């Protein structure tokens, strides 16, 4: 998943710079961070970020679902997929 331990460290540095700069976490930047944390196996941080997004689109849902699936949490992935659909978000080519 994550190419090296350095990748997640770089991602955390970038995340901290975003926080320190006071930039509001929009859905595009937030989804990118969710994807990075999820791919690197930090599913707890990925989920925290996902939940903190002002709104979640199909791409952000897909990033979180894929992270769970990638790391062997198929049941959580399916539960989140169902939650996405119950919230009115329909899957498309992104999921």
Helix (H, G, I), strand (E, B) or coil at 20: helix
DSSP conformational letter for 37: H
pLDDT grade for 9, boundaries at 50, 70 and 90: confident
What are 77's two structure tokens?
């992935």
pTM for the model stands at: 0.87
pLDDT computed for residue 2 by the predictor = 63
Q: How far apart are CA 45 and CA 9, in angstroms?
A: 13
* Dihedral of alpha carbons 86, 74, 12, 7, sign: negative
How is residue 7 written in tokens? 């990748």
Residue with tokens 């049941």: 75
């Amino acid at each position: 998943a994550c190419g090296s331990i350095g990748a997640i460290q770089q991602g955390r540095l970038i995340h901290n710079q975003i926080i320190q700069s006071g930039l509001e976490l929009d859905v595009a930047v937030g989804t990118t961070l969710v994807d990075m944390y999820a791919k690197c196996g930090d599913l707890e941080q990925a989920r925290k970020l996902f939940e903190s997004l002002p709104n979640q689109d199909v791409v952000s849902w897909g990033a979180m679902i894929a992270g769970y699936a990638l790391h062997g949490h198929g049941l959580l992935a399916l539960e989140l997929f169902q939650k996405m659909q119950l919230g009115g978000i329909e899957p498309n080519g992104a999921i």
